[in-house]
Amino acid sequence: MTAPQVSVILPVYNEAESLPLLWPELEAALGALGRPAEVLVVDDGSTDGSAELVREWQRKDPRVRLVRLGANCGLTAALLAGFESARGSIIVTMDSDLQYDPADLVNLVALVDRHDAALGWRARRQDPWLKRISSRIANRVRTAVLGDDVRDSACTFRAMRRRCTSAIPPFQGMHRFVPTLLKQAGFRVVEVEVRHRPRQHGESKYGVRNRALRAFVDLLAVRWMRSRRVSYRIVEDTGGDDPR
């Protein structure tokens, strides 16, 4: 198989009902992409047979790979595991719950030709009203604390150059702050509207009750990291022997 230029990372946790519907859409999007690609499914300790469904994908399409975590470790861990295993120079991340339209990945990847990262923005969110309101409040708090202008920090539908992953530290909760982390690392970032759909099966794994306090603590951690970030500019390097 041709070496992939694009790695699509799908974190999965108990999405056995959604995966059979997702694959035809994703397969069509890969066909429209026009670049060699791989689909890296990171199973985050599912107990509903999600991994077995991905193995069926593998038998039909050699572009599919399965990475299984030994236990449910959370979204940040699943994404980091995907980054580590991905082979493409462009990394795409998206949820596997059918709320994103895989067709939008074509536009996201194309924008990476001119930017370091193209980040999805759910202008018309199709979530329950409580989740929409809590997200608006969270965005305002984040903007007040970090002073950034990110419109949808929690949207996981993104495309980025591989080197961008170096800006995401290996700490729980960092998936919520990818746009901020990329910007503060100096990467060229653009936000682009992506389609958002109502959830068809199951329930969200990230509700208001189980994430509000943790998200605020993570926000303070990102602010601390920003305040302690080392910044320098080399103005001359005359060469010399390799110090190693």
Parallel, antiparallel or unpaired: strands 158-161 and 90-93: antiparallel
How many whole angstroms from its chain centre is CA 182?
12
Per-residue confidence (pLDDT) for residue 208, from 0 to 100: 46
Highest mean pLDDT among 33-42, 134-143, 218-227: 33-42
Report, as an integer, the average pLDDT of 4-14: 97
Q: Give the phi and the psi of residue 12 in degrees, each rounded to 5.
A: -130, 130
Region 30-44 average pLDDT: 96
Closest CA to 219 of 183, 152, 173: 173
| Lowest-confidence pick of 90-99, 112-121, 136-145, 186-195 | 136-145
Extract long-range pairs of 54-58: CB within 8 Å, 24+ residues apart: 54/12, 54/19, 57/23
Where along the chain do its domains lie? 6-227
User: Which residue do the tokens 């909760």 mark?
Assistant: 173
Q: State how far the Cα of 133 lies from the Cα of 89, in Å rounded to an integer.
A: 36
Q: What is the pLDDT of residue 232?
A: 63
The answer on pLDDT for 51 being more than 60 is yes
Give the Cβ contact number of residue 216 at 10 Å.
14
Q: Which of 28-32, 126-130, 204-208, 228-232 has the highest mean pLDDT?
A: 28-32
pTM here is: 0.79
Tell me, what's the pLDDT at 128? 58
Confidence of residue 207 (pLDDT cuts 50, 70, 90): very low
pLDDT tens digit sequence for 104-158 = 999 999 999 999 999 998 877 755 555 656 666 566 666 666 667 777 878 899 9
**Which CATH fold topology does 6-227 show?**
Spore Coat Polysaccharide Biosynthesis Protein SpsA; Chain A (3.90.550)
